[in-house]
Amino acid sequence: MADPVLKWAGGKRQLLEEIYARFPSEFAEYHEPFLGGGAVFFDMEPRGGTVNDTNPRLVNCYRVIRDRPEELADRLAAFDDPESDPDPELAFAAEDWKDRSVDQYFYQQRARFNRRAYADETWPDDERSRIEEAALLVYLNRTCYNGLYRENSDGGFNVPIGRYADPDWVQADRIREASDALARTEIRNEDFEYVLDAAAEGDLVYVDPPYEPMSATADFAEYSAEGFDRDDQERLLRVASELDERGVNVVLSNSGVTFERYREAGFDVTREGATRSINSDETARGEVDEIIATNVPEEERSESPGQASIADF
């Protein structure tokens, strides 16, 4: 069992037992089209299959974790404390992209990380640049406010500095363990519908999309500039139904407002409560209404939840 390297809103560590209880006792390959922080994946450590996310920064980070773990850990160890002075040898030592004064190291690194979004630069095309990009993401994720990842409409990471007495951003052991877990997994950066081609009969697909808001006035997820709207939610339901028709095992989590939608589509749906600690609004943290939907018959599910019940690839 590996621990996630990144903090990520919507992580499933508190629901692992409930999710595993819906998994089949045996399956072939494992696919996760919305990887995010990867709480389920890293706890399971499946051997083979695919993981995916539409956020290219996140996908680059996981590929570097898989392929260059030691170089990534070494680069992270070279970063300074987030509240220290900016590095005069690096860009944005005085002002950020919006000509605001930069007086802390954290905001200098945030401005460096946002080059691709604000300067419209291409994504890293050499190994050193990819490692630097991944290191900036890990550093900012471990030192920003509450571990929140959020992008503005231009794709710029805009979370402020966090309040930590002694932040640990190197995470060398976690990076090595995560690298081992990802070693035999294909990491993709596509729309979630790729899973229709990747998953075969007998495989398991775990789906954890950006949740549909519980109210009509709530905003959809802000974790990428592209967002995930109601049309995407309807498209996801069609994909889950098609996988079901093909004999693919499907387990899906979403907000409670989708309960009837998945039940009417023929899935077994239950409500679960989970406490959310990552939220930009401290008053909004607490237990939220979630569902877990599956097409796996009860008699074919794991006898006991947890890693021990997962098929050994």
Residue range 74-119, pLDDT digits in tens = 999 999 999 999 999 999 999 999 999 999 999 999 999 999 888 8
What domains are defined for the chain? 13-54+190-309 (3.40.50.150), 62-179 (1.10.1020.10)
What pTM value is reported for the model? 0.88
Residue range 25-83, pLDDT digits in tens = 999 999 999 999 999 999 999 989 999 999 999 999 999 999 999 999 999 999 999 99
pLDDT on residue 312: 43
pLDDT on residue 178: 98
Please provide the DSSP assignment of the chain as one string: ----SS--TT--GGGHHHHHTTSBSS-S-EEES--TT-HHHHHH--SSEEEE-S-HHHHHHHHHHHH-HHHHHHHHHTPPPTTSPP-TTSS-SSB-TTS-B--SHHHHHHHHHTHHHHS-PPPP-SHHHHHHHHHHHHHHHHHBGGG---B-TTS-B---B---SS-----HHHHHHHHHHHTT-EEE-S-GGGHHHH--TT-EEEE-PPPPPSSTTSPPP-SSTT---HHHHHHHHHHHHHHHHTT-EEEEEEEGGGHHHHHHTT-EEEEEEEEE---SSGGG-EEEEEEEEE-S-GGGB-SS-SGGGS---
